[in-house]
Amino acid sequence: MKIISWNVNGIRAVERKGELEKFLAAHDPDILLFQEIKSKSEQVQNLIEKYSEFQQFYHAAEKPGYAGTAIWISKNEKLKIKNEELKFHVGMPDFTDDEGRISRVSFGNFEILGVYFPNGGKSPAAWQGKLEFYEKFLAFVNKLRAAGKTVIFAGDVNCAHAPIDLARPADNDGKIGFHPDERARISKWISAGWRDVWRSKFPEKKDVYSWWHVITRARDRNVGWRLDYFFVDNSFFSKVKKIDYLTDQMGSDHCPVSLEI
């Protein structure tokens, strides 16, 4: 099974650029987790029709042109997932998900989540909300795991965890996106038995990022941040065959991350 997570920064924009079609042809994913779709369900009817080989679920933000997540599941028979098995869920307990931040699909014993974590930079309240989101999300996935589920979660975490995860750690130390308080939350996930798949596979590998500032053309110089992740439970890590950052894929300020299990 190949699962790919991608913050598309506007799914209709990526489609208009021709990059979505190019991406699907090149990588043939079984499950797609999209973040920052910036679209309501009624605005993506052309995608539902054009890419009918996928069962598509959308969780839009109430605010137009903002945030939102989606999950696409291939109808390919090799997956052996029956339509009646698929259940789509949004949000998490004790959290009003009016920004479409959490999408989850269940089938068999799997719970697969695509998440667009808050940035936290708008205001002091937004910053506190980001830290609370990290805490609530950990409790949520821990509960799913405790119920005996195989949990995989991925998406734009909006935090570079360690100095190796951004090009200029000294310049950004203490800033949102590389603040010690949010980095401590990611460390807490890891202490709770959730593996950052990429860093577990490649603990010393440098210069691999998933987001670059557009205006400064930072991607051309690879001055980036690794903000997009896959996490699995420690006990499931041995099932991971491969993980890649698809840095050649254009269309967004983020690149996709591909996990094969």
Q: Which contacts of 85-93 are long-range, i.e. CB under 8 A and separated by 24 or more positions?
A: 86/55, 88/57, 90/59, 92/136, 92/137, 92/140, 93/136, 93/140
Q: Is 155 helix (H, G, I), strand (E, B) or coil?
A: strand
Question: Residue 243: its pLDDT value, please?
Answer: 98
Question: Residue 81: its pLDDT value, please?
Answer: 77
Domain 2-260 indexed as CATH 3.60.10.10: yes
Question: Residue 44: its pLDDT value, please?
Answer: 97
Known catalytic residues are: 156
220-236: pLDDT as tens digits: 999 999 999 999 999 99
Question: Residue 79: its pLDDT value, please?
Answer: 76
First to last CA, the chain: 5
Prediction pTM value? 0.97
Q: Is 260 helix (H, G, I), strand (E, B) or coil?
A: strand
Question: Residue 80: its pLDDT value, please?
Answer: 73
Q: Would you kindly state where each structural domain of the chain is located, as residue ranges?
A: 2-260
Report residues of the chain scoring pLDDT below 70. none
Round to whole Å and give the CA distance between 203 and 194. 15
Question: Residue 76: its pLDDT value, please?
Answer: 84
Q: Is 1 helix (H, G, I), strand (E, B) or coil?
A: coil
Nearest to 39 by CA among 8, 76, 74, 3: 8
